[in-house]
Amino acid sequence: MPQFTPSNLMVFLLTGMLVWLSVNVLLAAIRLRRSYELAPSRFIYPANCPPELCLDQLGFIRFICPRLILFGLLGLLISVFMVVNELTGLLAALPDWISNGAALFLFVPLIIWYVIFINKAAKRFW
């Protein structure tokens, strides 16, 4: 049984937040794909862009759905990697800063990519 230290507690907290975000994004993408209507959501619209003011709703849905699905699946995959690493010591042979930092090295680019494609959507469709 692994011991909980401040470093792996941080990883579990980060993993929990990533799972929550990934599941919510996947559910929003599924809802968009099924209904083809822009429903209220905090995760899929750019800041200060209400769905009612979208210039091309169908185009936005076609643009954003594949990216949301990919983001959600990659987020869940990174979460699984992070939990497996903490519970099994998969990267235990490496120094602590690398094994604990591996989660951040995977997580940060994913969030940056999310911000980039949300901003692209804002420029194109609002």
pLDDT digits (tens, 9 = 90+) for 17-38: 889 999 999 999 999 999 999 9
Count of residues in the chain: 126
Phi-psi category of 48—alpha, beta or left, where left has phi over 0 and alpha has psi -120 to 50?
A: left
* Interatomic CA distance for residues 41 and 51, integer angstroms: 9
Instruction: Dump strand ranges (E) for the chain.
Output: none
* Interatomic CA distance for residues 78 and 113, integer angstroms: 14
- Positions of the chain with pLDDT lower than 50, given as ranges: none
pLDDT at 83: 82
Largest CA distance in the chain: 54
CB 48 within 8 A of CB 42: no
pLDDT at 58: 95
pLDDT at 62: 95
Report which of 82, 77, 88 is spatially closest to residue 10, judged by C-alpha positions.
82
